[in-house]
Structure 1
Amino acid sequence: MVAKVLNVGVMSRQDYVRRTIAIAKGEYIPSPDEPKIWFESLKSMAQVLSDENQVLLDVIIRHKPASLTELEQLAHRKKPNLSRTLKTLERYGVVELRKQSGKLIPTVKATDFRVQFGLHHGNAA
């Protein structure tokens, strides 16, 4: 399997808002290699990319479940917990949930993560 790299960044909400406003005003133009996905803290990133969630991603990659019910059995996790986790992973661009024949089919979109963080992020801060 070819690694799919997702660029993610860590930036405080305040800096993120400033950056977004600067982009909207045309005062800051992000470079193409800058992250599109931002976390508020290393802690929030660690929660999304936890060991438990990495195991879940591995199960999806290896078994290619055709539904959440199948994934529930493979991962030994209850559907409400699984659904919440997958929606969070989808929001961050890590998985994709496709609806097919009334079933949600999870697909892993990112297997490797390049993280950018620091005290200052370009001219937008």
Structure 2
Amino acid sequence: MAIARGTFHPPADEPKVWFESLRSFAEVLNEDNQELLRLILEKQPQSLQELEAASGRRSSNLSRTLRTMEQYGLVELIKDKRSVRPVVKATDIRLDIRLHRSSAA
């Protein structure tokens, strides 16, 4: 909220991805999706079809998941004339949770 108010300016190395809730974090970065990110890093598929074959996930599920991850800045979907290549953008993910609010919040 402080960033939105303009009262806090994060340093350059501050995270650029923010989740609106712990639930959304857990849904996007569940075990299956973490494995998908590892698979992309290891195999470096050149298309969604290659990733579909390597992961065993259906293309509709895979596309939806990757689009969501792209919205959060976790992956980039690089489009060329014939295919879409997924690239992992975030390799280290840290979760910070504040359990209380300060009186200034």
- Residues 29 and 122 of structure 1: CA distance in aligned 2, closer, same or farther (over 3 Å): farther
Q: Which residue of 2 aligns with 1:29?
A: 8
Residues 65 and 106 in structure 1, CA contact (< 8 A), matched pair in contact too: yes
1:1-125 paired onto structure 2 within 5 Å: 16=1, 19-20=3-4, 22-23=5-6, 28-32=7-11, 33-118=13-98, 119-120=100-101, 123=104, 125=105
More strand by share: 1
TM-score (norm 2): 0.85
Q: Which structure 2 segments of 5+ residues have no match? A: none
Residues 3 and 9 in structure 2, CA contact (< 8 A), matched pair in contact too: no
Q: Which structure 1 segments of 5+ residues have no match? A: 1-15
What number of residue pairs does the alignment pair up?
Answer: 103
Residues 70 and 77 in structure 2, CA contact (< 8 A), matched pair in contact too: yes
Residues 36 and 55 in structure 2, CA contact (< 8 A), matched pair in contact too: yes
TM-score (norm 1): 0.73
Using the aligned pairs only, state the percent identity: 47
Q: For 1:71 and 1:37, how far apart are their aligned partners in 2?
A: 24
